[in-house]
Structure 1
Amino acid sequence: ELSARAIEGFGGGFRARFTAATRGSGLGTSGAVVGVEIIDPGSGYFKPPHIVISEGGRGCEGPLFEAVLGTRRYHPMDAYPGVGLEFEVIVADNPFDRIRHFSIEGDLPHLMLSATFAPPVESTSPKGLVSRTFRWDPPRNIAGSRPLALCFSAEDNSGEVLPSGTQLAGKSDAACLMVTVVRCAYAVRGGETLLHVAAYYGTNWIQIWAANVLLQDPEGSDIAEGQLVNVGHTYTLERGDELLGLARKFGMSEEGIHELNYDVAQTPPELLGA
């Protein structure tokens, strides 16, 4: 068992138990350390920062996502035209370290270029928390696209400072989401009625009302902000289906189908229903 004291008054040290290989144990060379168990981390045992995603959807079905995200693991999240997508990305670190880099990792997906990522806000109580708010209003014509990969990364200032003044990389974490724009659904903005939703999709309120059997008032007085409204019925393509035939079947134009189905719009006509 090893006890480590604080160095130059920083932190409270830690206690750890080491497991060593012995002759004939089959764990490795005799005397080699093969396991470490932290008994008391103290305040001098540094854990890396971790990223938390919380409070999604601007009222859309309440909190959509709240979890500590593991590095490189993709977590699903739904987005809807209307109120859009909004969530807070929080980096939690030791109070004696500072976050020096906190950003979207890589490039935004090209369908998300209109998104914004607010400047970092550092918490004073408790210390060690830095948050940024991500906002995106998905347009109606990308519903049905492939899930969009969105990653965030953070690094603290715990890296060693060389004599030259260069600071090496500190501890870091990353978290990723797979954002899906849900097909044929709209999350109502505050003050909107079925007339507004119908106008947004270039249709009439009767068709919208008919697709939502739980709505009692045709004028939509019983609609709350963030409520999901169906704007059409989903249909699975069958072998032999053609776009013109589908348009006639559902009383729509081919352009209207493209507007609600990004994947269909990006598929060559001869491959539909193949």
Structure 2
Amino acid sequence: MKGWLFHLAVLGVLAVLAVILPAYHANNLARVLVLAVFATGYNLAFGYTGMLSLGHALFFGAGMFGAALPVTLWGWGGLPVLGTGMLAGGVVAAAVGVLALRTKGVSFMIVTLMFAQAGYLTLIYCNAVTGGDQGLVLPGAARQVLGLDLTQDGSRLWLALGIYAAALAGALGLVGSRFGRVMLAMRENEERSRMLGYDPYTVKLKVLVISGLYAGLAGAAYGVFFGYAGAGFATVQYSILPMLYSLLGGAGTALGPLIGAAVMFWLIDFASGLTNAYLMLVGVVLIVVVLFAPRGILGYVRERWLPWLP
């Protein structure tokens, strides 16, 4: 109960920020919330189940183009394309998982990276449909969801908050369930879990599909919210980002991805205003966090003060 109340309080703070923030910061917060959905799905696979993947950019890109292509090809818009994007992410994750989960450890990481790179090259080569390097611009008429005009910063932020709240509730419910305890068992000792009668392949495939659904929803939302879908969002950078968000905020904590995404986003925004070598400053901060809080920011808080955090 404490965990649910704490997370509700955080959502309440975000709702207050949605009311008081000026347009520029409201737009940035919407972007952070969408990326936090992406990282929350990644955290289910990595932080809770122990699958280190470098292929999540493929699921994110599948979700983005799963939303953008119905808009450009058939004139769809609004809520349906968010659903098609989410479904695309889950289907691609299932296809990748069926093959990649025959490996584990470093081999799994490399195989998922190869799939992601193949997906990126496919988007580039199919430029007649996907727009290649230039991508696709979504018309304003297609960016209307539940009566909200997503060309406006305020509407965009409120829908982003609603999607993140649903994603967070889903993650909390999952990790608190019996299946969530099986996920943790897989992370801690896969062989012992097998001896208890759980099939690691099946469990991990289910988690990877759920993680892909999260990534697909985030990719679809990013494309619809900001009116653009490009192959650049399927590069390896977008596989590394959710991993960094999870590690920085606290892998294996429900709110860690949000904290990591927010800290990283505004750290880059602040550092880029100080120096052209802003990535060096960001790297120094990440090294300090790893040295003094190896479990991430929220992991450190849980370890020292709030052991009941999920």
TM-score by length of 1: 0.23
Structure label with greater radius of gyration: 1
Identify, as 1 or 2, the structure richer in strand.
Answer: 1
TM-score by length of 2: 0.21
